[in-house]
Amino acid sequence: MNFNKNEKEMKNGFMYYLAGALLITAYLLPWFLDNPVYIRGIWFAGWIIWMIGIALLFLPMFVFRSKGMVIKKNDWTKTTVLVDTGIYSIVRHPLYLGWSFMYLAIIFWSQHYLTIVIGITGMICVYQISRQEDQLLIKKFGNDYLDYMKKVPRMNFFSGIIQSMRRKKKKS
């Protein structure tokens, strides 16, 4: 049993390192590519996606600290209660969605096939990390998290907004 836990932690850790290395590579690669032709509208959209991604990366830190009942000396991810309000009422993993947006932004900026391949691979890694995170959170919060999973999508922002509006409409 303990071996399986360590195996999962190693796999999860490896995915984090791989996704991080791919993101750094994706951001450094355009410096070495000769890609003078790009579509300006897509390049501009990359900046918008990047800004949204940055917000999604940092927002969970503040939300968990304020609503997750994190002990002051602990890491901000060490919540003691399930947070299902604010951004967490729209998507279960805003941090991972923001991370995916970082890949998408560099793809839009670079518009080079190597960056696209690295970016898509990185997004797949981040998606796998979010799936593993769901399994860990089911163990931590049990049925409450299973119910939460039924109500809130993993990383589909648009579906989350629609579902959130439907829930609010039912309450009124």
CATH number of the domain to which 57 belongs: 1.20.120.1630
Sorted by sequence, the CB contacts under 8 Å of residue 107 that are 6+ apart come out as 26, 46, 115, 116, 119, 120
How many structural domains compose the chain?
A: 1
Which residues of the chain are under the pLDDT cut of 70?
1-12, 35-37, 74, 172
Q: Has residue 172 been placed in a domain?
A: no
Q: Has residue 122 been placed in a domain?
A: yes
∠ at Cα 21 (58, 104), nearest 5°? 60
Per-residue confidence (pLDDT) for residue 44, from 0 to 100: 94
Per-residue confidence (pLDDT) for residue 7, from 0 to 100: 47
What pTM value is reported for the model? Answer: 0.85
Burial of residue 92 (CB within 10 Å: 0-12, 13-18, 19+) is buried
Per-residue confidence (pLDDT) for residue 37, from 0 to 100: 65
Per-residue confidence (pLDDT) for residue 1, from 0 to 100: 36
- Helix, strand, coil share (%) of the chain residues, nearest 5: 75, 0, 25
Per-residue confidence (pLDDT) for residue 48, from 0 to 100: 97
Specify whether the CB–CB gap between 123 and 103 falls below 8 A.
yes
Per-residue confidence (pLDDT) for residue 34, from 0 to 100: 76
Structure tokens at 107: 């793809």
Cβ atoms within 10 Å of 120's Cβ, excluding its own: 14
Q: Give me the domain span that covers residue 141.
A: 2-167
Per-residue confidence (pLDDT) for residue 9, from 0 to 100: 53
Q: Has residue 120 been placed in a domain?
A: yes
The SS3 call for residue 93 is coil
Per-residue confidence (pLDDT) for residue 32, from 0 to 100: 85
Q: Has residue 101 been placed in a domain?
A: yes
